[in-house]
């Protein structure tokens, strides 16, 4: 696994290692690939096994408000929610940089049924209390400035037929959408936009997770890797490093000229 951007660490008053900034993980992949489920599993495991404080942010918080005409189109499955233009990329970037700066951030909550943000309802993220932030969305890696903020990038790679089946179930059963409109939206916007804007970003991933949440081996490896990065050097590692440094300096002294 690539470790391009190692987090920086400081020691707190108790001598424990605290990350200077939350460890930011981007999770991309097609619709219904299992991004949210993978994030939930990572959060559960980091929380239960490593007591890490983890927050999940969904890209849907950053959908732009719709004009009345676009609202009508959306109700008929004729609005392209899979195009980068549907998202407020600037606000997405600002939110993530505020989180990195450990600010208190107000996160809009999105309602897929009304195709709009919930009025006056937010999730408040106290970024200074958070160890790990998982940001998930079909276009999480689309914008370079946002991509560059992630310490780690994962792409959930699930078979397209499986994704379509899940998507249809979700839209019809959970969101009460009309089957004909759902299929039409999929063929007109979801599939072509996946091919144009999401799939090309797979190359930026550090880790590809085939089959999503059922891939427990991949999830365990990711959790272990995050844990290694956010915990900083442990006493055993430090002793080993100290001994190696001592051995190195001894051999420097005794080396014949
Ligand atoms: N490994 C899996 N096996 C079966 N169903 C799954 C699996 N992963 C996700 N799902 C289901 O598929 C749907 C989409 O999953 P979700 O994690 O919300 O995907 P995404 O966030 O990529 O849209 C949900 O109903 C979820 O419960
Ligand atoms: N009002 C909306 C907003 C978004 N969508 C669809 O959601 C998909 C992205 O969410 P996933 O959890 O599936 O990654 C995207 O494909 C949009 O088409 C929507 O249908 N309605």
Q: Which residues line ligand 1 (CB under 6 A)?
A: 29, 31-37, 166, 170, 212-214
Helix 216-231, helix 35-50: angle, nearest 10: 50
166 CA to middle of ligand 1, Å?
7
Evaluate the CA torsion angle 154, 157, 158, 160 in order and state its sign. Answer: positive
pLDDT for res 30: 98
Who contacts 254 (Cβ-Cβ below 8 Å, separation ≥6)?
Answer: none
> Which residue CA neighbors atom 21 of ligand 2 most closely?
112
Using only C-alpha atoms, the chain has a radius of gyration, in whole angstroms, of 22
ipTM for the predicted complex: 0.99
Least Cα distance to 112 among 150, 181, 61 occurs for 61
Tell me the best of 166, 202, 210 to mutate to test the pocket of ligand 1, counting ligand atoms within 8 Å of each CB and taking the most: 166
Q: How confident is the model at residue 4 (pLDDT cuts 50, 70, 90)?
A: very low
> Which residue CA neighbors atom 14 of ligand 2 most closely?
31
Tell me the CA end-to-end span of the chain in Å, nearest whole number. 42
Least Cα distance to 181 among 84, 86, 85, 73 occurs for 73
Q: Which ligand is nearest to the CA of 36?
A: 1
Per-residue pLDDT averaged across 170-185, rounded? 97
Domains of the chain: 21-228 (3.40.50.300)
Q: Which ligand is nearest to the CA of 193?
A: 2
Q: How confident is the model at residue 53 (pLDDT cuts 50, 70, 90)?
A: very high
pTM for this prediction: 0.88
Q: Which residue has the higher pLDDT, 96 or 9?
A: 96
Give the whole-angstrom CA distance, residue 249 versus residue 251. Answer: 5
Summarize pLDDT for 63-93 with one digit per residue, the tens.
Answer: 999 999 999 999 999 999 999 999 999 999 9
């Amino acid at each position: 696994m690539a470790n391009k951007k190692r987090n920086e660490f400081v020691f707190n008053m108790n001598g424990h290692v605290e990350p200077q900034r939350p460890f930011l993980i981007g999770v991309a992949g097609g619709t219904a690939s299992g991004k949210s489920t993978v994030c939930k599993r990572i959060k559960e495991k980091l929380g239960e096994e490593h007591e890490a404080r983890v927050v999940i942010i969904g890209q849907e918080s950053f959908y732009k408000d719709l004009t009345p005409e676009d609202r009508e189109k959306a109700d008929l499955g004729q609005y392209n929610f899979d195009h980068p233009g549907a998202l407020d990329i600037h606000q997405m970037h600002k939110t993530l940089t505020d989180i990195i700066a450990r600010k208190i951030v107000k996160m809009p909550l999105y309602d897929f049924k009304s195709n709009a943000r919930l009025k006056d309802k937010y999730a408040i993220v106290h970024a200074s209390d958070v160890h790990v932030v998982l940001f998930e969305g079909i276009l999480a890696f689309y914008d370079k400035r946002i991509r560059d903020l992630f310490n780690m990038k994962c792409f959930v790679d699930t078979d397209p037929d499986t994704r379509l089946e899940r998507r249809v179930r979700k839209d019809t059963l959970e969101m009460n959408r009309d089957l004909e409109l759902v299929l039409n939206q999929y063929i007109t916007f979801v599939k072509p936009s996946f091919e144009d804007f999401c799939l090309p970003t797979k190359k930026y991933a550090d880790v590809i997770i085939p089959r999503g949440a059922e891939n427990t081996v991949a999830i365990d490896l990711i959790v272990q890797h995050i844990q290694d990065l956010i915990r900083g050097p442990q006493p055993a590692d430090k002793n080993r490093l100290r001994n190696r440094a001592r051995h190195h300096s001894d051999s420097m002294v005794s080396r014949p000229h």
